[in-house]
Structure 1
């Protein structure tokens, strides 16, 4: 499945053209492994209350991946309800991604994403159906860490740099 939009809507009130998805996608692919970006993943508790946490995420092979320890609130929420949103400020573009996050257990994908994390400076390795490393964020909980892949439903971009604009992208899922 490719993460290309099936519909686009211009949300700009100042007459700017709609933004191409390729702008967001290309910045994610270039910057997420190595730039100092914080992604905020929002999930839904069983009682309907929201939960948000900063995570290290990477765009690999046209998809967004992030981690969560089995005991973290985000992992527990995603086990019950995969709906989530992810927010990040990229170079010249604020981006919100909406979709479902599902745990990845396939060895090939785990190793591919771990290699991107290693290239970025986090020494992730595959252990069973999860990732482990000698260190991680203090709030991540103890290893192993589950890997999640986001299936995009919708994304919103607001450009703070030329060319300016605001756009909604809808994806098939």
Structure 2
């Protein structure tokens, strides 16, 4: 979260939380988004059917960033409907912390921003994920161009698993 952003309104949903549970603070939720090696992106196809795919990404400046080839299913879905859900966490029942982010995917085309994001991608995932920046896109020799999208959360949910179970909602203005 950048220093100019307002922290979200945070509340515990007691209906889905253990007695005595407390809301998880936003910095803890943001840390999960920062450190996650993998995210699941849910989009909607133009005919209304859902589409879910795993992908890598970078949490930066208050948004989760991912990239996709312009002809891939997720890019075509986003052209018709930019509303998305991104999830990450531990695939366990009684331990860990899962995060769900709801928001709108917006394409990033600014050269300086893309260059900074390319450095962040490589720092997180290693040299195999080196991107150059050209014509408002990431570029890899083997893979070609990839559009980069940013999802600023409208709402984020945190699900604490194990004792205590908790469901925290973060609402952004």
CA–CA distance in structure 2, aligned partners of residues 40 and 168 of structure 1: 19
CA–CA distance in structure 2, aligned partners of residues 107 and 23 of structure 1: 31
SS in 1 for 2:47: coil
Indicate which of 11, 25, 36 corresponds to 1:20: 25
Gaps of 5+ in 2: none
C-alpha contact (below 8 Å) 2:17/2:165 kept by paired residues: no
Shift of 1:112: 0.8
| 1:44-55 mapped onto 2 (5 Å cutoff) | 44-55=44-55
What whole-Å deviation, never above 9, does each CA across 1:114-159 have from its counterpart, x for those lacking one? 0001212111111221001245xxxxxx420000000211111111
What is the aligned partner in structure 2 of residue 128 from structure 1?
135
- Number of residue pairs matched by the alignment: 161
C-alpha contact (below 8 Å) 1:99/1:154 kept by paired residues: yes
Shift of 1:41: 0.4
What is the aligned partner in structure 2 of residue 151 from structure 1?
152
C-alpha contact (below 8 Å) 2:69/2:146 kept by paired residues: yes
Q: Structure 2 vs 1, CA of residues 9 and 17 (structure 1 numbering), >3 Å: closer, same or farther?
A: closer
**TM-score, with length taken from structure 1:** 0.84
SS in 1 for 2:120: helix
Q: Structure 2 vs 1, CA of residues 71 and 7 (structure 1 numbering), >3 Å: closer, same or farther?
A: same
CA–CA distance in structure 2, aligned partners of residues 116 and 67 of structure 1: 13
C-alpha contact (below 8 Å) 1:3/1:62 kept by paired residues: no
Query: Which stretch shows the higher mean deviation, 1-10 or 71-80?
Result: 1-10
Query: Which stretch shows the higher mean deviation, 88-97 or 109-118?
Result: 88-97
Over 3 Å off, 4+ runs:
161-164
CA–CA distance in structure 2, aligned partners of residues 75 and 105 of structure 1: 15
CA RMSD of aligned residues (A): 2.1
CA–CA distance in structure 2, aligned partners of residues 134 and 24 of structure 1: 35
Query: Which stretch shows the higher mean deviation, 98-107 or 85-94?
Result: 85-94
What is the aligned partner in structure 2 of residue 4 from structure 1?
7
CA–CA distance in structure 2, aligned partners of residues 102 and 28 of structure 1: 18
Query: Which stretch shows the higher mean deviation, 98-107 or 154-163?
Result: 154-163
Shift of 1:171: 1.3
| 1:49-68 mapped onto 2 (5 Å cutoff) | 49-68=49-68
CA–CA distance in structure 2, aligned partners of residues 54 and 43 of structure 1: 12
